[in-house]
């Protein structure tokens, strides 16, 4: 980490805690900043705020008092999920206070090489694969996964040095709040409809994603999915050297699926069907990771070894176990229709689908042909249960509504047959019933384990 004195004695407001806010506050405190954290959760129930207070950080909880911003702050570090329409953020901007997100703070004190990964889907898998591939090299330095993958990057940069690489998953929420963040390699896995309720429009969402490349130069690399026509136009906005990947044989791609082989610059690395993770989407994730690894100087053998043994990221089409002849998969991170589309396409066996969650008032119609093709029965829950049931009716398959993912598990087993896949892929966010998709997925895994134990 750089010995950065820019924050010493500066008044900084950290808005919103959770993992990233706590980590940002601790880093700023270490750098000598005069830190105030403001979180809406009440102090008595707020263990994070209590711990920070014990470390000497000023803590204000229970509400977001706009008048707090009149106390001469030099900077606001905002939790990525807080929208820019929030009164505290609006007031900060009116006062000319810079508003950044945690990755920008981390980058400002980092002397490591950065690889940034964004996209609507596939970010976590691609980030994980890149980190594993870079660490498989027999060279100096270590690759640290961080960011939206669930690891605060402000914590990582305190141990990552100049010989190391930070592989940072960057959500669109995070990217809106960057100013100077400059990855040497940037990856854009894909762009679909997502988070439009937060960004206000698809145009704003795409602009947020493209911020990952805005500080790059021609000496940097921007890895893009060349199977999506939109990418060809977006590439023109990047100052970096564009490195396309393609599963479908797009002209000009460097990382490709060719005659069943994963290739880079025409060189065969391994057969795609030798990977442990299922689905065309994971071929795309692998191609993006291969491109990043090769551009980082990783040898083919290291890349192949990782792809041979990698079995998937938790909560993302994660194999749980086989119970009574049914293979069970946890895809709780499928918080939108596009992600569930990917999951349904990943299997050839009949599927019993567990789906439902927060209603963002977005259409679900794209799921219908896949439900007709792949799904034997459906178990629904949450705010979008009626929408999922409407699709089941149109597909002519049975469905059962239940309270949550825990109660859905025995229903799913009863509706399935040996050889089927039982798949939690909600096609909706978790916030109507759960704090996050991780809690939802963990409850599902626990319920499957308990069911298996009862069945002996």
Q: Would you list which residues are annotated within the binding site for ATP?
A: 119-125
How does 109-127 read in b/e, with b if 16+ C-beta sit within 10 Å?
Answer: bbebbbbbbbbbbbbbbbb
Cα-Cα-Cα-Cα dihedral of 170, 122, 127, 244, to 10°? -90
**Which DSSP category does 268 fall into?**
E
Beta bridge partners of 399: 378
**Which DSSP category does 84 fall into?**
T
Beta bridge partners of 261: 258, 271
154: nearest Cα among 100, 209, 194, 226:
100
Residues 6+ apart with CB under 8 A from 405: 332, 354, 381, 424, 440, 443, 444, 447
Pair of tokens at residue 311: 């079995």
d(CA 116, CA 127): 8
d(CA 120, CA 192): 6
Pairing, β 421-424 against β 399-401: unpaired
End-to-end CA, the chain: 52
Known binding-site residues equal 119-125
d(CA 130, CA 117): 10
Pairing, β 165-169 against β 113-118: parallel
d(CA 388, CA 378): 8
Q: Strands of 324-393 (E only): list them.
A: 326-330, 351-355, 375-380
Pair of tokens at residue 27: 């880093």
User: Rounded to the nearest 5°, which phi and psi values hold at 38?
Assistant: -130, 120
Beta bridge partners of 257: 262
d(CA 113, CA 167): 9
SS3 257: strand
């Amino acid at each position: 980490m750089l010995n950065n004195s820019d924050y010493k004695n500066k008044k900084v407001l950290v808005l919103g805690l959770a993992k990233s806010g706590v980590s940002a506050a601790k880093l700023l405190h270490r750098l000598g900043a005069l830190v105030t954290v403001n979180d809406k959760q009440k102090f008595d129930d707020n263990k994070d705020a209590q711990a920070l207070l014990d470390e000497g950080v000023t803590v204000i909880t229970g509400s977001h008092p706009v008048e707090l911003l009149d106390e001469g702050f030099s900077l606001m570090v905002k939790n990525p999920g807080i929208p820019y329409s929030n009164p505290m953020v609006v007031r900060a901007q009116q006062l000319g206070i810079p508003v950044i997100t945690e990755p920008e703070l981390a980058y400002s004190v980092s002397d490591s090489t950065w690889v940034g990964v964004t996209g609507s889907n596939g970010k976590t898998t691609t980030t994980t694969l890149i980190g594993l591939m870079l660490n498989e090299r027999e060279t100096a330095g270590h690759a640290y996964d961080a960011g939206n993958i669930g690891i605060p990057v402000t914590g990582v940069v305190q141990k990552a040095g100049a010989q190391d690489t930070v592989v940072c998953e960057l959500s669109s929420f995070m990217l809106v709040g960057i100013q100077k963040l400059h990855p040497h390699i940037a990856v854009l896995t894909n762009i679909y409809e997502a988070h439009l309720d937060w960004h206000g429009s698809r145009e704003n969402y795409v602009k947020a994603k493209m911020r990952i490349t805005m500080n790059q130069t021609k000496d940097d690399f921007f890895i893009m999915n060349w199977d999506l026509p939109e990418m060809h136009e977006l590439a023109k906005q990047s100052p970096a050297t564009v490195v396309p990947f393609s599963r479908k044989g797009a002209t000009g791609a460097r990382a490709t699926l060719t005659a069943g082989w994963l290739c880079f610059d025409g060189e065969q690395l391994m057969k795609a069907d030798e990977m442990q993770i299922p689905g065309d989407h994971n071929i795309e994730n692998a191609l993006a990771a291969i491109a990043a690894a090769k551009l980082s100087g990783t040898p083919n053998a290291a890349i192949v070894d990782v792809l041979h043994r990698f079995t998937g990221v938790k909560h993302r089409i994660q194999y749980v176990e086989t119970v009574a002849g049914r293979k069970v998969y946890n895809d709780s991170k499928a918080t939108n229709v596009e992600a569930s589309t990917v999951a349904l396409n990943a299997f050839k066996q009949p599927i019993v689908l567990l789906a439902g969650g927060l209603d963002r008032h977005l259409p679900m119609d794209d799921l219908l042909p896949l439900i007709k093709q792949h799904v034997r029965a459906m178990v629904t829950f949450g705010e979008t249960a009626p929408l999922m049931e409407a699709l089941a009716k149109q597909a002519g398959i049975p469905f059962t509504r239940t309270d949550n993912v825990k109660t859905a598990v025995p229903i799913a087993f009863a509706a399935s047959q040996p050889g089927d896949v039982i798949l939690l892929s909600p096609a909706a966010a978790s916030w109507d019933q759960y704090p996050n998709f991780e809690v939802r997925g963990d409850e599902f895994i626990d319920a499957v384990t308990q069911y298996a134990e009862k069945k002996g």
